[in-house]
């Protein structure tokens, strides 16, 4: 080993004077300019795209006017997939414009029944009575505290 390599090894560099891989081949330090690199901001969760009924109708009309081979260009231009067209055509065949409007995803909301409303009203009334009783107890405790407080002052 050369004298310089021994000193580099002793200095804590296990590879001596070797150049690290992936570095700049010229050995120059690159200056990082603000705004030139990738955006460090983390993008949130991806959101599902929704298309309005008017947009769907317009695209389907354009597709109907297209010659052979033009549909692919239209899909690329609009950023759509052929499966979109298939689903929209089915919805249009059902004959409703409302069928082309985006649908809310997730489980259906359960309608609130009369029994449930009665149960909530009963529980609400019970809790009101309990609150009124607690307020009366607090008033009594205040009066007792005031009476006992006066007696303790007189005894002192």
pLDDT score recorded for residue 103: 72
Predicted model pTM: 0.39
Q: For the chain, what is the HEC assignment?
A: CCHHHHHHHHCCCCCCCCCCCCCCCCCCCCCCCCCCCCCCCCCCCCCCCCCCHHHHHHHHHHHHHCCCCHHHHHHHHHCCCHHHHHHHHHHHHCCCCHHHCCCCCCCCCCCCCHHHHHHHHHHHHHHHHHHHHHHHHHHHHHHHHHHHHHHHHHHC
Query: Domain-by-domain residue ranges, the chain?
Result: 53-100, 113-156
24-28, 113-117, 128-132, 139-143: least confident range: 24-28
Residue predicted with more confidence, 41 or 119: 119
pLDDT in tens, 65-115: 988 888 999 999 999 999 999 988 888 887 765 666 667 778 887 778 888
pLDDT score recorded for residue 118: 92
Residue 64, pLDDT above cutoff 60: yes
pLDDT score recorded for residue 51: 84
């Amino acid at each position: 080993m050369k004298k310089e390599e021994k000193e580099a090894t002793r200095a804590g560099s296990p590879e001596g004077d070797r150049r690290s891989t992936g570095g700049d081949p010229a050995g120059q330090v690159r200056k990082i300019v603000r705004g030139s690199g990738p955006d460090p901001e983390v993008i949130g969760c991806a959101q599902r795209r929704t298309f309005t009924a008017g947009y769907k109708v317009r695209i389907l009309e354009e597709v109907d006017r297209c010659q052979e081979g033009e549909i692919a260009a239209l899909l690329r231009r609009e950023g759509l997939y052929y499966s979109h067209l298939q689903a929209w055509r089915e919805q249009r065949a059902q004959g409703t414009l409302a069928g082309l409007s985006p649908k809310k995803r997730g489980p259906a909301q359960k309608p609130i029944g009369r029994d449930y409303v009665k149960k909530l009203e009963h529980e609400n009334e019970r809790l009101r009575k309990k609150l009124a009783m607690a307020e009366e107890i607090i008033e009594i405790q205040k009066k007792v505290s005031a009476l006992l407080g006066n007696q303790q002052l007189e005894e002192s």
